[in-house]
């Protein structure tokens, strides 16, 4: 199993440009998440999905949109990038078991907005 | 708002010492807690978790202690090795929501 994969690994955008980050998981997990991580900060939840076709807002959803058309994929979109969105983005997935909800993370996408 | 935090942003130890990383949480309704390790340039990696009805759980070289009275969580690493150098995050889970992460403690192990 590849686990959780993210593409691209790095990207530089100009202010106002748009892009989509792709997250894929091959573990048949129901739940998927997008986080951003800034220097000296923990992970902050942007959006999450509890199943195919469903999405919900997290702690910092403004400026981002998401889609979960297939169970294995979770897309994060930036319609008009801003320098404040410069960050490292992590995707995670989990299969709620009723006992624990351990999240498995991807390797991250480093995004710079100029 | 309620959040999970760590007492110290950095911790430096000598190889072979035991390390203790602390975390305070504020939501007594959290039903379990997880410790993650994040190495430079990588995503967080699961280390160990503990449910709120437990006060101690042991893994390989790691022990997590939970004190619900003072809402405190700790991660103990025995015989710390250079490969343990990383940022450690605690996270709390509340039913119906996603994990809430603390800011992290950077552990530096010197030989």
The per-residue pLDDT for range B86-98, each reduced to its tens digit, is 999 999 887 766 7
Longest Cα–Cα distance in chain A: 44
Instruction: Spell out which residues of chain B touch residue A60, defining contact as CB-CB under 8 Å.
Output: none
Q: Distance, in angstroms, between B44 CA and closest chain A CA?
A: 6
What is the predicted pLDDT for the residue at B96? Answer: 67
Q: Which residue of B has its CA nearest to A38?
A: B103
Q: Distance, in angstroms, between B100 CA and closest chain A CA?
A: 8
Contact flag A100-B51 (C-beta cutoff 8 Å): yes
**Which two structure tokens, joined as six digits, stand for A103?**
């999240």
Residue A96 has pLDDT above 80, yes or no: no
What is the predicted pLDDT for the residue at B25? Answer: 87
User: How far separated are the first and last CA of chain B, in Å rounded?
Assistant: 40
Q: DSSP assignment of chain B, as one string?
A: ---EEES-SEEEEETTS-EEEEEEE--TT--EEEEEEE-TTS--EEEEEEETT-SEEE-SSEEEEEETTTTEEEEEESS--GGG-EEEEEEEE-TTS--EE---EEEEEE-
């Amino acid at each position: 199993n590849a686990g959780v994969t993210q593409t691209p690994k790095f990207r530089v955008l100009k202010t106002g440009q748009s892009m989509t980050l792709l997250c894929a998981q091959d573990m048949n997990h129901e739940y998927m998440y997008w986080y951003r991580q800034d220097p000296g900060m923990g992970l902050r939840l942007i959006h999450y999905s509890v199943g195919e076709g469903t999405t919900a807002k997290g702690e910092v959803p403004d400026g981002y949109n998401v889609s979960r058309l297939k169970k294995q994929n979770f897309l994060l979109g930036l319609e008009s990038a801003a320098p404040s969105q410069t960050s490292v983005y992590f995707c995670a997935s989990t299969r709620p078991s009723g006992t624990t909800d351990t999240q498995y993370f991807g390797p991250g996408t480093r995004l710079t907005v100029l | 708002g309620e959040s999970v935090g760590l007492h110290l942003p950095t911790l430096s130890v000598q190889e072979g010492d035991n390390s203790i990383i602390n975390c305070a949480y504020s939501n007594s309704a959290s039903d379990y807690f997880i410790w993650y390790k994040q190495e430079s340039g990588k995503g967080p990696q699961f280390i160990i978790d503990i449910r709120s009805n437990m006060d101690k759980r042991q893994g390989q070289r790691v022990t997590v202690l939970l004190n619900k009275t003072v809402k405190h969580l700790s991660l103990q690493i025995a015989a710390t090795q250079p490969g343990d150098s990383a940022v450690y995050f605690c996270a709390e889970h509340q039913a119906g929501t996603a994990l809430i992460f603390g800011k992290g403690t950077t552990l530096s192990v010197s030989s």
